[in-house]
Structure 1
């Protein structure tokens, strides 16, 4: 399967391409970073939308690099704080798959003006952000000219892990990463089709996770909103337990992402409580324990790559179940109307 194929079902194609794209991106980013040797301490990770979610999923690796404090900021917040942040943070890593987000481009310019070292991570080497002439990693994603990004999200995680590794956080050896992810794709598709069928009148989806999986919870909820047009929210698990259940109905559902025994026990209690209220709920365990969907047990840095696949398929099936094309968002042209992109992005 080629990375640039175009069919009548692009989202499904992109999800299936994701394992190969992840492996290619990890390899390419490592090669591109060979000559990049920043000495700065203090790191700010900047992005919005799916890019911010990839940042949340990889921030622990940046912290493990031992380069001092690590902060995640949306571009607008970073711009407002750039002068202050430059007082202790010497490096800004700017992530933008499209390379066309107006505020992300402005954030890169603000970081440079503040005297920070800057690294751009993008999927388009000819994009407006690439034209700034800053050090750059280009992710070999191939075509993904639709709004709800899937394979580009996986690539973003892979590229950011490579950057963190270059800063001093070695990745565990896993030569079978692509195979492990590829083997998870079809079981996830079937499992999440069953879950989508069980909630035909879904009015809200809660997705909860913590640590690296918080970014996946938020990303999963974003995909459901983008593809299926269903209200959804991603929460830190502890926050989800404090009052959020009162906003759920018998037509709502909740998914808890877990990665260790303590998280599994907490999620099991939550699922039991919601079940007693007639609310559909379940777990997806990134460490390979049984749940709604089989997920391969991978080392911690790679767990978000596996955990996101079921949520991408869930969004796809929820859209299909409502007669919606998953690649066609409910309100076309919002990026232009909201003036958040520099060109004709979805």
Structure 2
């Protein structure tokens, strides 16, 4: 099996940015947790003044996956419905449902993502309370918002976003807990301080996986609830770092649809914490074994770990609502190893010369005011 290091790789003076940044996440998240306290309180104050009764989060890529986490936390912890909506879906198809009592979290790490800016404009046009979550307070997104939330991640250099996804997720978790407190419910905060020992533990576990386990060409990630959000994130890291054509599907949907694409040697990664969906994941693992698939799991469920071919164990006693923060670490280490095994540079995202302009430099669509669609230059 291969060591998880890129020291001495051709054309490199040392470890990749991805390898350097993964261990920094516990520190970044602890600082973010402290920094978010004031902004969350201000958000609650302004939302109360506006009588917000409709909660929406929009973004693209990792920002959307953070919204999937938020949907679960809002429901479980605050008993509120929050709708995660893809930015283009919101900006061009469903913005009509927004109103002055809607609050829209528009999430973009850079603040320059054209579709998120577009969604923000559509939300404002409907009178919604717009909250921009971005690292750049001078960005077009932040400047268009009623309230800017600094996502607290400045020094992230890896193309495989590490802490920025987790920081936004943490912020949304804190908002859910603040909403719960209004109703008299108290929840313990995310235990991001307990991530530190798991950084190396997860690295070692991924390092013990045989090289052959990680070299397949057909990868499917799956999970339910927070497990789905983490699986989506893990899938994205695989094609960002290792240029692997992975895709992700919700756990039950897999059984109904994507299972027809499974063939011998298909790799299926399941992300699940103990309870809720883990029993269904075990059933799926059994069926996939009959089809000759190679099954993997990131889990703290001993029975699921025993049911798959290869398991990376999450810390025993981990609270189910902390799953995304812990699961992100082995998924990042795995993406790094997959890149190295394939001879890929984990710091060089494929097709970025086309990808980045399409994200930032696209023309903006504005809601029609006279029966005609309008395009304006970003």
TM value normalised by structure 2: 0.81
Does 56-65 or 107-116 show the bigger shift? 56-65
Which string of whole-angstrom CA distances, capped at 9 and with x for unpartnered residues, describes residues 311-336 of structure 1? 11111110011111112112232333
Which string of whole-angstrom CA distances, capped at 9 and with x for unpartnered residues, describes residues 31-66 of structure 1? 222223103101111111000001101212223565
Q: Distance in 1 between matches of 2:24 and 2:178?
A: 26
SS in 2 for 1:319: helix
Unmatched tracts of structure 2, length 5 or more: 1-12, 306-310, 363-378
Q: Distance in 2 between matches of 1:279 and 1:258?
A: 18
Unmatched tracts of structure 1, length 5 or more: 1-5
Q: Which residue of the other structure, out of 259, 265, 283, is the alignment partner of 2:297?
A: 283
SS in 2 for 1:266: helix
Partner of 1:173: 188
Partner of 2:375: none
Label 1:30 to 1:7 Cα distance change in 2 as closer, same or farther (>3 A): farther
Please tell me whether residue 324 in structure 1 is matched to residue 309 in structure 2: no
Partner of 1:95: 107
Partner of 1:30: 37
Partner of 1:293: 312
Q: Distance in 1 between matches of 2:24 and 2:210?
A: 22
Q: CA deviation at 1:88?
A: 8.2
SS in 2 for 1:199: helix
Q: CA deviation at 1:133?
A: 4.8
Please tell me whether residue 144 in structure 1 is matched to residue 151 in structure 2: no
TM value normalised by structure 1: 0.88
Partner of 1:216: 230
Please tell me whether residue 341 in structure 1 is matched to residue 360 in structure 2: yes
Label 1:211 to 1:183 Cα distance change in 2 as closer, same or farther (>3 A): same
C-alpha contact 1:206 1:254 (8 A) present in aligned 2: yes
Greater gyration radius: 2
Once the two structures are superposed, the pairs formed by residues 12-31 of structure 1 within 5 Å of their partners are 12-31=19-38
SS in 2 for 1:254: strand
Does 49-58 or 235-244 show the bigger shift? 235-244
C-alpha contact 2:22 2:332 (8 A) present in aligned 1: yes
Structural RMSD (CA): 2.5
Aligned residues: 336
